[in-house]
Amino acid sequence: MSTAKPLRSYVAGKWHLPTDDGAPLHDAVTGDEVARISSAGVDFAGALDYGRTVGGPALRELTFHQRAALLKALASRLREHRDELYALSMRTGATLADSKFDIDGGIGVLFSFASKGKRELPSGGVLLDGGLEPLGKGGTFLGQHIATPLRGVAVQINAFNFPVWGPLEKFAPAFLAGVSSIIKPASQTAYLTAKLVELIVESELIPPGSVQFICGGVGDLLDHLTGQDLVAFTGSASTAARLRAHPTIVRNSVRFNAEADSLNCSILGPDAKPGSVEFDLYVKQLVTEMTVKAGQKCTAIRRAFVPAESLSAVAESASARLAKVVVGNPANERVRMGALASIEQREEVRRSLKALLDNGSVVFGDPEHIDVVDADARRGAFISPILLRADADAAQPHE
């Protein structure tokens, strides 16, 4: 029997333990069970109602400047607890540099929106939109457009790669706008987001109902959305399309925003010859994007467009840099690339690589083998950085 503790949800102002055993979550480095996850027993309709009737009104009582001040105070409190988040982040396979990108970056978002709220928004609770509009002769009838907070809840569904930054970058603008949030993390790294939410709740800095947390599936949550609610999603394009077509979202015209997977590219100009500063910078950045967070950043460079005459030089230079990248346990200071978020994620990457290899060849790396430092490559979710050379007329790598 598992001894790992189940992750708690936080709904209607209370911590909630699941009513079943849940599914196991594993340390990306060691393979050990970290926690179990399930949302069984959560009252999803009740969570939305609590956000609308408790969290929203409490936030709307505050001005933009007051909400901005709370964001700043919360950011400062989280910054004091970064070491706790760093330690847990390591279990997701992240190096310290990776963790700083996620954790410090997310805290920085809170500071940024706090600053914007103070400098760019009015002191009250209403935002004027444009100037006065004369609607009658002689100026006796005027109109003024204003923006006020929605009376619903901001539901956020997050990806596994940024378990701290992802929730905070969605929470900050919603909070500043006076709208309560429900955070739903990706399962693989939910234990880190759970710690983040625990720190937020324990700070007692923000009004009750401002934030709720669902650990596990969303059940029938989407069935209870109204036109005053909104959904912000980060993840795959296929899941985004499915959510966007949800009957309730369509029927009630629920605001839906998706940040889906992308095929970002970098382009080397023909005048950036091998040996030039620009050439070296290009290769350095390509390798950095391949290895930071084990290549799992949504903004990572997926494709490198290179002039034919420079193709071999780029391949050789990138391979030389990649060969120096130490992969393994992030706790080891020599390690520069940790593990993927889970074994399941590694297998998904391998499946995708097999499809890509039908239209190209390996320049560097081996998807089935990797030498690691202070870790077991079979138990951890490790994979070599992989550089492929695509066939010139292949369409699949660009789809």
Taking the C-alpha atoms of residue 341 and residue 192, their distance in angstroms, rounded to an integer, is: 12
Instruction: Characterize the bridge pairing of strands 360-364 and 387-390.
Output: antiparallel
Place of tokens 């390591």: 90
Burial state string for 14-48 with b = 16 or more CB within 10 A and e = fewer than 16: eebebeeebeebbbbbebeebbbbbbbebebeebb
Asked whether 387 and 322 are in contact (CB, 8 A), the reply is yes
Of 33, 84, 198, 259, the active-site residue reads: 259
Taking the C-alpha atoms of residue 49 and residue 152, their distance in angstroms, rounded to an integer, is: 9
Asked whether 374 and 337 are in contact (CB, 8 A), the reply is no
Helix (H) or strand (E) segment spanning residue 35: strand 33-37
Q: Residue 265: which residues within 8 A CB-CB, separation 6 or more?
A: 301, 302, 303, 304, 305
With the C-alpha atoms ordered 375, 8, 222, 146, is the resulting torsion angle positive or negative? Answer: negative
Taking the C-alpha atoms of residue 52 and residue 181, their distance in angstroms, rounded to an integer, is: 10
φ/ψ (deg, to 5) at 397: -65, -15
Tokens coding 318: 């990138």
Active site residue 298: yes
CB burial of residue 132 (10 Å; 0-12, 13-18, 19+):
exposed
DSSP state, residue 191: H
Taking the C-alpha atoms of residue 162 and residue 220, their distance in angstroms, rounded to an integer, is: 25
Taking the C-alpha atoms of residue 262 and residue 55, their distance in angstroms, rounded to an integer, is: 34
Of 33, 298, 316, 344, the active-site residue reads: 298
Tokens coding 379: 């138990």
**CA 230 → CA 40, 110, 207, 249, distances in Å?**
23, 20, 20, 9
Catalytic residues: 259, 298
